[in-house]
Every structure is written in structure tokens, then in C-alpha cells.
Structure 1
Amino acid sequence: MAAEVTDGSCGFCSASAAVYTCPRCHRRLCSLRCYRAHGPCAEAFYRDQVLEALRAQRDSPPRGPAPPGLRELREPGDPVRPVGRGLWEQLSEAERDGFRQLLSSGEAAALLPQWRPWWWRGRGPVEELGGGSGVEEEDEEGGEGRPGPAPPVPASVPPLSALRAAAPSPLVRFQLPNALFGYAFSLSLHGGDETLLPELPAAAIAASAALRARRPFGSTAEALLSARRDARTAGLPLSPLGDSGALLAVAQLLEGRDSRDPGADVAAALWHLWRLLKAGARALPFPERSRFRAARRKVGFLLSWSRGAPEELAQLAREARAVHAEVAAEEAAVAEIREGLEKVWGGPRPPPREGQEDRVPWLVRDGVEEGFGGPRPPPADKGVQGRRLIQELD
């Protein structure tokens, strides 16, 4: 805010001595009180300045490391921490535990900008290769979090007969939803950032047994629930799409957005996954690339199979929708129960019972007794325990 002596009156209270000027609307103000009352205008000005600086920083070429003096700046009262260490090493153990809990619970996704996958239903028809494009529909929420451009559909896919002479097993159809779950889960987990290599394709392999090995599935439900379980077993955080959202993503990919070519979205997703696996393998040492190559071969096989089985895709889409509906209903029931309990508790956790803080939990680990909060209480008389056991059995 610029200050200058002037004879003009205040634009807010009409006082005669208006020595300040709003940087946005240039209205003259006489005091801090009038400035604060006029604050939203000035705040909008500074917000625009900050956004403009961020855009300039994003568009400018990367510079060298910051001078040592800037790297060592900290707020007054902050604890002195070693310089030159990573951010993770600078966190306390309690801060690390809190961050791990945010990741495992999926709450960290709420802190990130909203990301929507390219197959989101808010978009119009699939863009045709060769010049034609469909008209995009307005997004349901006013254009915020619009999905990015869809990956291209491969121009030519070799038929399945060119890859193998024998007819495939009828169970091969259930490999596709399992692989698509790995693709949708990993892409949403990393916010669609394809530069995160090899982490992004590695997450797809971890969540999909079909991409890791020859794992047969007997149904679409088994294939999808197995992928969801594998993602948890691998220690991966909850997808920003939500537990049931990844299942919905598989159904949407199988349904497709273009009625003229319902399998176009499946082909685009598999071709995209194939390229991500190839790029991820390049980011690994040569001996560690084998699992990425094996997964890429499996994706190529599913791509050829899917382009020749449109009826199978429609059936898989219906089955995936049913699995999503069941899981979403379970989530809604659990959320309703949790909400009711939190209202009774007055918070996310139950209040401690009377005398609960005086209890002493004990743990026996590797034959060694470990106590928390005080000495172990004396053991009860074995004869009394025996009599009680006999009475319970009777």
C-alpha cells in the first residue's frame, strides 16, 4: 500500500485526511480501521500479485540452487535443524507418524488439488483421430477439476491370432478388469503425473496380479476385489478416487464414452499403460526391468483380445457396475455408523471410560514381559482360576 499526503477525503468514512491509497481500486483511505474495512479489495490485489508471481516462476526456466543464506532462513523461534538434509529427515518421529496416517487413511488426498481422470463422465464424446472432435459438455461442478486430455487410441492393433495360434482360455476375460484396476488406481494415486517413474507403473503392477504373473480369476468380482486387496497388501495409500471409486473407474472404462466404438477407452487405457510400463523400465537398472517387460507383454495381449471382443466388454462393464454398487453400499453403511458414533462420542474417538486411564496394559514379546504405565499387577491365585474355569465349563 502506498502512502502519500493529500487533501482528498477518505473514500470509506469521508474523513478529510486520507493519506493511504488502495492498490487495487485506488480509493483513498484515512486510517488502518478504514483499510481493514476495505480489506477484501486489497486482499484480492495481493492475491493476484502472488498468483502472477507463481505463474512467472512456473513458466521460467529452472535456476541453480538457492544461495546458502536463503536456504538457512527460518522463522524466529524455529528449532535449529541441520542444513542440507532432506525434508523427511527433518521431520520428528511424531510428524512422520502423522504423515503416514494421512497417507494410509486417504485423508492426504483432500490436501491436494482436485484431479479427475480423463475417462470422467463430465466430458463429451471421445476425440476422433484425424481431425474430428466431439463437443465437450459442461462439467457438473462449474468447470473445476476438469479431466485432462484422453490418451490416444492405437491406430492399429494386431489381432489375437497373430500373437498365438491356440484359442485363449474363456477365463482370460477376467484378466482385463484386474489390469484396468491397476491402471486406474496407480494413475489416480499419482495425480496423473506421468513423470513419476518408475513409481506410477510399479503401483499398477503391485495392484494387479494379472500384470505380475499368470493368476486366473473365476469372475469379475474376484478379479476386482483381488486387485483392491493387493493394493492394500502392498502398503499403497488409499486412492484419491476412494475405495469404491477405483471400481467405478474400471466400469466406466469398460463402458466407454463413444457409442460408435465402446472399446476405445479400454484400448486407450491399455495403450497408455503399455507406454508407462516402457518408460518405467527405462528408469530402472537393467536387471530390474524384467517384471516391467512381462507386464507389458500381458498388456499387449489384453489389448489385442479386447479389440476383438466388444460383447465381452459390455458384459464385463455390467458385472463391474454390480461390484461397485455393492462396495459403495457397504461404504455408505459404514460411514453412517461412524457418523452416528461420532455424534454420540462428540468426536472421532470414544471418550475414555471411568478409571480406564488407571489400567495397565501388558504385552509379552519373545518371552519378555513389557509393561506400560506401571508395575505388573500380582498374578491371581491359580486355584481360584481353576475353580472359575470348572464352573464356566459346567
Structure 2
Amino acid sequence: MPSLRVIDQDDSPGEELQGQDQPLCNICQKQFSNYVCPRCNLRYCSLGCYKDLQHADCTESFYKDSITEEIRSRGTSDEEKQKMLQLLRRFEAENDQLATTHNEEEMDEKEDNDSMDDLHDRFATIDLDKADSEAIWALLSDQERKEFEALLQFQQQQGDSHEGLDDIPIPEYHPWWNNETIGSNKKVVIQELENEQEEEEEENTFPELPSPLPDLQTMMKSPPGPESDLVWSLMHTAMVYCYVMRHFLGDIREDVKDTVAVVSTLCKATLFSSTPGYAYRNPTEALYDLVDEIMDYEEQEASDRSRRVPLMIVLLEDCLSLMKKQDSMVRAISDLWRLLESGTKKMDKTHRNACFLATRKSYFYLGYAVYLSRNHGLERVKVLAMAEKERLVLEDQAFDRQRKAAEQAVELQQKQTKPKITNVL
């Protein structure tokens, strides 16, 4: 498999760079290129440029080959390999669909630019500051007049405040699952029960693993595998834990009853549900249902895109971070289980039984998380969560472009329709 080539600015240039200045990034054309793509020799300056849509064909192929090679290197059965390869093919098909959508958006954007050029040509000979509003209005087509009125109404309803992906509307907090030093001082701690060893103390404030770890195969005769829809309930529960940690800035035990109340509200379809069967059939259902519950809990409009889309992306990023290390997902579910266990003791009689049943179910989820971690069963969740996140990012970028174009059109028209002040004397 090709490896990444890094151009170190402190070292003397190699043979291919001798006698010439360090070239710029082939993507942004602004920064010096510090890296070279191992496949197509494209020079780029950062991960953002490497993942740019101009380089998408190469990166998607690279990710696919990397995951395929990883699957082949593991001691899995032929049946498991075939399942994973089928997931990769599905992932590749979804990426192709995203690329097609992006191409269509580029064509639409080109048409919009042509329309704007035509608009500029029509107004080229007019002084907008002195022109009569009726004369300006007469230069607009019927369709442009309708669009202007619709955009003006939209702006009055929405106001001028818009938040983008860089302004994530949740409290500033650095969660433990984003700490790169976790687990760096010792080997991964998910291990067979008969070979368990005592964990050494660490300075990092991240949840401890229970001892012994629950064994799903002792809980039931035929444990659900990675292909079961139970995995989406586990994903939902993990995202609930991440949201609660962010919501309380990591201090989820300051008021246990309050924290458990939030968990019960968000997990009423999973941990606190008495309905048999699985709540979700895919990651999109799990994500959208959780965001609906969060928006309702925060008393915000469910259609508030400026809050909804960034929240979805943060939840998916947190879930993906939990799956980067073999034991992080287990630690998260374990921490939630301990929270519910302590909350049961503090609940009144009315809510104690529901919390007790939720605690037992969370312990079962913990056993399922351990089972998946030991058998590399989280790969399916990881691939589909990545696909969902990329879809949301592309969709939000397209929406943001359209919003900015609308704002510019409204601003232009407002300048053109300023009331004309005449000298009455």
C-alpha cells in the first residue's frame, strides 16, 4: 500500500526539489505544499486540501483500498470479509451519488453566475444611488421580481443572524474521547476475561472500565452480531452520552437526578422503552430521532437549520471519535451505565423502577459494545457514520452558498429601492 510522502521544510530539498523554490499547494494555491499524495503525486498543504472535492476521486479510492487491506489483514472468516466488502461497495455507491449531486450543484451555480452577469449588464448604465426605484423595478424580469419578494419575506422571518459550521451552538468543551493521549501509556485494555490484568492509574480523567467486563455470550445463547439493528440503538445511546457530557461540560454527576432526567428524555425509544424490538433500522433514523428530541428538550424549533445541522455533525464526529480506539465506546457506555446505577438509588418510587430497568438495559448494551469491540464489529457503524457526515457537510455547503447568494440579492435590491429624497423647495 502506498505511504504518505512528507516534505519537511527544515530538511534540505530532495532531488525533485533541487534548483527550484518549494511549490504551492495544487488545491488552494495559497500555502506551500508540505505533502505529496502517494497515488497521484498531487502536492497539498493540509488535510483539508487533501480531502477537497478536486481530489475526491483519489482519496475515496485510497480510503477504500486502506479499509479493504485492513480487513484482509485480520483473522476474519470469508463470510465476514464478504459482508464488509459489500458494505464498502455500498459506501462507494453512496459516494458516487454524492459526487453526482455535487456536479449538479456546480452546474446550477454556473447558471446562477450567468444570471448574475446578465443582471449586472442590465444595471451597468444606471446610477443605483440616484435612479428612480420604478425604473430599477422595470429592469427586473417577472421571475426576478417574484424571487425578490420571496427573499425579502424570508429575511424578515429569519432575521440577519445565521450560524455556520464554525460556530457550533453547543458549550465549549474538550471531551475525553478527543484526547489523543488516552491509552498511549498502556496496551488496549479490551481483553479476554480470563486474561484480565489490573489497570494502572492514569492522570487522564476518562471513564474506567468495569472489572470484570460483561460477557454477552454468557447473557444469551445467540448474541446479536454486527449486522443486527441493535447496533443503531447502541450508536444512539453513545451519541446521547456525548451530548449529555457536552451539555453538562463533563460534570454529569454534579446533579445525578437532573442528568438522568435528560437521559430518560432522549432515550425514551431505547433505554427507557418497554416496546419490544429494535428502535432504528439505520444510522439516519437514530441520528434524526435524537436531534428531534434534543431540539424539543432545548425548546427550539425543529426546523432551525442553523442549530440542527451543526448538532448532527458534532454528534457524528463524537461517535466516530469513540470508535477510533478499541475501548472508547466501551468506556462511554460503561460511564452511562454507572450514572444510571447511581441515579436509581436517588430516584423516588415513581421513577425508580424505570431507571432500574434502564440500568439493566444499559448493562446489556455495555456487553454488546464489548462483544463488538472484540470482534471488530464497529466497522459497519464507522463506515455509514462517515458517509452520513460527509452527506450533511456537502448539503450544508450547498445551502450556505444559496443563502449567501440570496442575502446578496436582497442587499442589492434594498440599495436599489431606497426612497428618493427630492427638494420640495
**Could you state the TM-score of these two structures normalised by the residue count of structure 1?**
0.50
Structure with higher RCO (Cα < 8 A, 6+ apart): 2
If each structure's helix is expressed as a fraction of its own residues, which one has the higher value?
2
Q: Which entry has the higher C-alpha Rg, 1 or 2?
A: 1
